[in-house]
């Protein structure tokens, strides 16, 4: 039943023709595991996520028409079958528009979130569409101008020379670097539209509600003004758009661009070989060919792959910038990297199943090189302290409960490894820092996947739902953090 990957027939190669959103189904999870191992170059979104579906297991992917024909011919449907969900090209005709011009007028107008507005006003936000890359900057300037929110520019410029900017939202007037405990990032995968908007609207809501002594409402979830103050008081450092080069490229071409635009490893004549998957570039078991079992591919060494890991850990300015924030705000204890599209909240670890009984099985132990990443085996499972595991799960469950409570749709909390491992991701790297150096603050790292499976360009209605869902999730996440403990 194994089918080798068809290099050269990858989804991106088919962008000019047709791109298909499909699902693979199998009775047993292990069958999908084998399938991914044999077809690791397929575009599974941020990472392969397997969901339960009517007594079966389901795996979403984006593939070309040629690929679909190939799988229809070669897969044994008794084991793994493929179903076409829709054509992404056709669907793109009804996606939320990218904003035109500058709705924030160079920062003279500040954004205002959904939670502080009446639902009757959502239509106007929906029509205005997804923030264009320039609007991400002017929205941030607007928040600085209106509320005195501190802005910062990270030290490493992107290949195309774009600045990466962040903000610090806190109840206190004077921002102290040692009093910020929460870190949120988005826009690391360029095509995941609405990620930056979700973060900026959330911070806008907090600042507005704090100033006007109001609460916030997201669908059926309501938060009081005292909860707003509690959340803002936790100190939130955020970078809404970690990959501005990629976002500009995706918005200009609507080609589902995911990576950055660094051409260092590019192959002449292959436009897909430009760029690094920034979320495989962090120093977490980065050198996967050595660290993992040879049967799994938690990233890719192929520059044309969507999951190309770069030339070294932190070879990219964007990943270095993300990491730099921890040197500036050393007490950050809770982190979420916001992605789409799956409807999950993932928590550590992402390289193998968690276990809390054998400290020797840990990512720094060279004795286990070549053994990691095969889920549900006994050769290797990643060590996590039981108390950390409990804390991490508790916050994850509360966060997804709040997202479900909005009333729009389901979200599933799960360990990041799920069915299949990932290396070099920002959430695991964040959590691993303390494991390597106990003088650092321990960071609980998460990946939030808003939106609908592999649907990176939301419809206008989904765009609104995504803002409401994620914003309720962020509220609950920080409230949970405050209760569990802000100090690591």
Least Å distance, CB 367 to Zn ion, is 32
Least Å distance, CB 275 to Zn ion, is 14
* Residue 280 Cβ vs Zn ion, minimum distance, rounded to whole Å: 11
In angstroms, what is the minimal distance from the CB of 209 to Zn ion?
29
How many CB atoms lie under 10 A from the CB of residue 76? 10
Which of 234/299 has CB closer to Zn ion?
299
CB distance 362 to 423 below 8 Å: no
Closest by Cα among 409, 247, 427 to 322: 427
Residue ranges in contact with Zn ion by CB under 5 A: 46, 189, 339
Query: Closest Cα to residue 5, out of 57, 58, 87, 63?
Result: 63
Q: What is the C-alpha separation between 7 and 91, in angstroms, rounded?
A: 26
Query: CB of residue 46 vs Zn ion: minimum separation in angstroms?
Result: 3
Smallest distance, Zn ion to C-beta of residue 462, A: 16
Query: In terms of CB distance, is 383 or 463 closer to Zn ion?
Result: 463
Q: What's the CA gap between 47 and 37, in Å, rounded?
A: 13
Residue 383 or 429 with smaller CB distance to Zn ion: 429
Nearer of residues 189 and 291 to Zn ion, judged by Cβ:
189
The minimum distance between CB 66 and Zn ion, in angstroms, equals 25
Contact 418, 468 (CB under 8 A): no
Q: Which residues are catalytic?
A: 449
Distance CA 405, CA 425 (A): 29
Q: Which is nearer to Zn ion, 141 or 339 (CB)?
A: 339
Token pair in block for residue 196: 């930056």
Cis-peptide into 160, omega within 30 deg: no
Of 183 and 257, CB closest to Zn ion: 257
d(CA 283, CA 382): 16
Q: Which is nearer to Zn ion, 191 or 291 (CB)?
A: 191
């Amino acid at each position: 039943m194994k089918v080798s990957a068809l290099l050269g027939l990858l989804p991106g190669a088919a962008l000019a023709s047709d791109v298909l959103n499909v699902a693979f189904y199998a009775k047993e999870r292990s069958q999908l595991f084998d399938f991914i191992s044999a077809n690791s170059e397929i575009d599974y979104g941020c990472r392969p996520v397997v969901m339960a579906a009517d007594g079966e297991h389901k795996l979403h992917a984006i593939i070309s028409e040629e690929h679909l024909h190939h799988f229809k011919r070669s897969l044994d449907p008794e084991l793994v079958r493929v179903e076409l969900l829709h054509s992404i090209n056709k669907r793109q005709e009804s996606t939320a528009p990218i904003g035109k011009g500058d709705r924030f007028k160079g920062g003279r107008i500040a954004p205002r979130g959904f939670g502080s507005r009446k639902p009757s006003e959502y239509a106007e936000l929906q029509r205005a569409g997804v923030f264009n890359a320039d609007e991400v900057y002017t929205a941030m300037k607007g928040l600085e101008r209106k509320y005195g929110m501190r802005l910062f520019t990270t030290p490493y410029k992107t290949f195309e020379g774009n600045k990466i900017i962040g903000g610090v939202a806190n109840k206190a007037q004077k921002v102290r670097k040692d009093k910020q405990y929460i870190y949120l990032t988005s826009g690391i995968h360029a095509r995941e539209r609405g990620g930056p908007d979700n973060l900026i609207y959330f911070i806008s809501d907090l600042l507005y509600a704090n100033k006007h002594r109001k609460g916030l409402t997201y669908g059926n979830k309501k938060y009081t003004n005292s909860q707003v103050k509690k959340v803002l008081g936790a100190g939130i450092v955020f970078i809404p758009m970690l990959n501005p080069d990629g976002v500009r490229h995706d918005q200009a071409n609507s080609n589902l661009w995911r990576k950055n635009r660094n051409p260092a490893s590019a192959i002449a004549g292959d436009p897909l070989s430009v760029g690094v998957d920034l979320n495989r570039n962090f120093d977490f078991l980065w050198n996967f060919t050595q660290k993992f079992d040879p049967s799994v591919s938690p990233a890719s060494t192929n520059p044309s792959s969507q999951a190309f890991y770069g030339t070294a850990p932190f070879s990219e300015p964007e990943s270095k910038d993300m990491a730099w924030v921890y040197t500036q705000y050393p007490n950050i204890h809770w982190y979420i990297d916001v992605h789409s599209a799956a409807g999950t909240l993932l928590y550590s670890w992402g390289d193998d199943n968690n276990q809390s009984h054998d400290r020797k099985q840990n990512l720094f132990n060279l004795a286990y090189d070549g053994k990691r990443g095969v889920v549900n085996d006994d050769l290797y499972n990643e060590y996590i302290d039981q108390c950390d595991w409990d804390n991490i799960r508790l916050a994850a469950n509360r966060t997804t409960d709040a997202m479900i409570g909005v009333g729009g749709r389901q979200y599933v909390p799960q360990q990041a490894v799920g069915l299949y491992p990932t290396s070099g991701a920002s959430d695991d790297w964040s959590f691993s820092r303390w494991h390597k150096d106990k003088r650092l603050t321990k960071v609980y790292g998460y990946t939030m996947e808003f939106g609908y499976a592999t649907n990176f360009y939301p419809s206008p209605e989904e765009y609104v739902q995504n803002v409401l869902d994620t914003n309720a999730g962020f509220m609950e996440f920080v409230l949970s953090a405050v209760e569990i403990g802000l100090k690591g």
